[in-house]
Amino acid sequence: MVRTVVVVGIPGVGKTTVLNIAVNELLSKGYVVKVINFGDYMLQELTQRGLVRSRDEIRLLPLKIQREVQEMVAKRIRYEIDSECKLRSESIFFIDTHAVVKTSTGYWSGLPRHVIEHLMPDIVVVIEASVDEILNRQIRDKSRERSDYGDPKLLSDLLIMNRMFAISSATLVGVPVYILYNREGSVREAALELVDVVINRLRV
């Protein structure tokens, strides 16, 4: 059985960290698992075009370019999932991405119809943490430049927008939304809850 799980969360909430632990857990149980990071594909395409040097510059590009590359990436991911499914009929795909992106012209869907209908997930998982937890993680994570996401009021708004956009996208394809809390110091618990949702609770 193939399961496709879209995982979203605002920058610095801990998506990638939770996913890494969940994947190791699933691999140790014998599952075939792959994480596809939407941002990596966006970065690769935009770097090749000479438009960005880092992932934190992507959201600052003109929306027309982001939209064009967003759709291209969604098609590419669909193609890769389909190709892998031809080789193996039992796999879990996690797509690490965003329900909402803050651009200079407002909040913008990371999973509009032209994306979510290509990804066709079985579930959308929204990873959340408190504003203080996210701010502290951003401060500790020196490898990234998230200064435009460093305002508590903005993060609070973004958490709400993230849920609303995630629900809208899931509604387009008729799949459930699961809210997963990644509490401070409890990343393993969050990862194990994700594993439980994917292998025990998700009926596809």
Binding site for ligand AP5 (CB under 6 A): 9, 11-17, 37-39, 42, 55, 58-59, 66, 70, 96-98, 101, 110-111, 115, 137, 140-141, 144, 182-187
Q: Between 13 and 124, name the residue whose CB sits nearer to ligand AP5.
A: 13
83 Cβ partners below 8 Å, 6+ apart?
none
Least distance to ligand AP5, CB of residue 123, Å:
16
Q: Between 6 and 26, name the residue whose CB sits nearer to ligand AP5.
A: 6
Q: Between 166 and 202, name the residue whose CB sits nearer to ligand AP5.
A: 166
Label residues 132-161 b or e (16+ Cβ within 10 Å = b): ebbbebbeeeeeeebeebeeeeebeebbeb
Q: Between 4 and 97, name the residue whose CB sits nearer to ligand AP5.
A: 97
| Dist CA 176 CA 171 (whole Å) | 8
Q: Do the bridges between strand 100-103 and strand 106-109 make them parallel or antiparallel, or are there none, so unpaired?
A: antiparallel
Q: Between 140 and 153, name the residue whose CB sits nearer to ligand AP5.
A: 140
Least distance to ligand AP5, CB of residue 84, Å:
20
Based on the number of CB atoms within 10 Å of its own CB, is 200 exposed (0-12), middle (13-18) or buried (19 or more)? exposed
The helix (run of H) or strand (run of E) holding residue 79 is helix 63-87
Least distance to ligand AP5, CB of residue 197, Å:
17
Q: Do the bridges between strand 91-97 and strand 33-37 make them parallel or antiparallel, or are there none, so unpaired?
A: parallel
**Separation in Å, CA 6 to CA 31, 50, 83, 157:** 18, 28, 18, 22
Q: What are phi and psi of 178, to 5 degrees?
A: -115, 125
Nearest residue to the partner ligand AP5, using Cβ = 39
Q: Between 3 and 137, name the residue whose CB sits nearer to ligand AP5.
A: 137
126: helix, strand or coil: strand
Least distance to ligand AP5, CB of residue 75, Å:
13
3: helix, strand or coil: strand
Least distance to ligand AP5, CB of residue 141, Å:
4
Least distance to ligand AP5, CB of residue 135, Å:
11
